[in-house]
Amino acid sequence: MLLMRKILILFSLLAVYNGYAQKKIIDNQFPDKYLMAYIEPAAAGDFFNGHSFRGGVEYGINEQWALSCTAGSYFQHGYIIKGEIKRYFRQKGIVRPFLALEYRNLWHMFTTCDYVRKQEAAEEYVADKSQPVSYDIERIVNQVSVKYGKTVFLRNNWVFEWYAGMGIRFKSAHTTQDQTNLYYYNQSIRTVLSYTKGEGIWPGVLLGVKLGKRLF
């Protein structure tokens, strides 16, 4: 009888442990509904869209759809706001890929430095260090993009996400500086896309990560 009791106790303990382990696995799976707050740490080094601090909230409506809203402030002057609808695709475990449609609006005013360029050889230009130029630029951008990425729900309600995307950028830029004879402006495709004054339609590139915490 004593041996039988010990066996029953052992099986009871194993059953409790197995139930706890199963619960832990379920807890670490992708949730059906959730609300999380997040930051985008890579935005501090965003050379294409400008250095900024960004944070937001995301609400998972169900296991397939989620909505998010992001707001940020540029390190010099300006703001950025983004709205996104996300479609998740089923995948086992804590990782799930998604496609998203994003709209962003930004206003950014900043000062940049350059040099007047001078010609040294046929079709070759160098920066004339004796003629530095500092000028202000004001940008207003509206952009619609499609993004692909993956969201990972980690332990202790932490969430990690990476994404990449392409979009159409409607940009208006204003400056009093004549840019045609500037060295660095004419050397980089990034500066041409971001700094060119006037109105135009340009391609937009998105790369980023999110680090978040589930609130429920």
172 burial class (0-12, 13-18, 19+ CB within 10 angstroms)?
middle
Highest mean pLDDT of the ranges 16-25, 38-47, 56-65: 56-65
CA dist 207 and 165 (Å) reads 7
Percent of the chain with pLDDT over 90: 44
What's residue 189's pLDDT?
Answer: 73
pLDDT band of 15, cuts 50, 70, 90: very low
pLDDT by residue (tens digit) across 157-199? 899 999 999 999 999 999 888 888 888 777 777 777 777 888 9
What's residue 151's pLDDT?
Answer: 93
Which residue has 């050379």 as its token pair? 47
Torsion 159-52-58-146 (CA) sign: negative
Q: Taking 60 as the threshold, does the pLDDT of residue 47 lie above it?
A: yes
Provide CB contacts within 8 A for 174, sequence distance 6+.
Answer: 137, 138, 139, 197
CA dist 135 and 201 (Å) reads 23
Look up the pTM and report it: 0.76
Judged by DSSP in three states, 53 sits in: strand
Domain boundaries 31-214, corresponding CATH code? 2.40.160
For the chain, the distance separating the N- and C-terminal CA atoms, rounded to the nearest angstrom, is: 48
Q: Please give the biggest Cα pair distance in the chain.
A: 101
Enumerate the domain spans of the chain.
1-30, 31-214
- Number of helices (H) and strands (E), helices first, in the chain? 3, 8
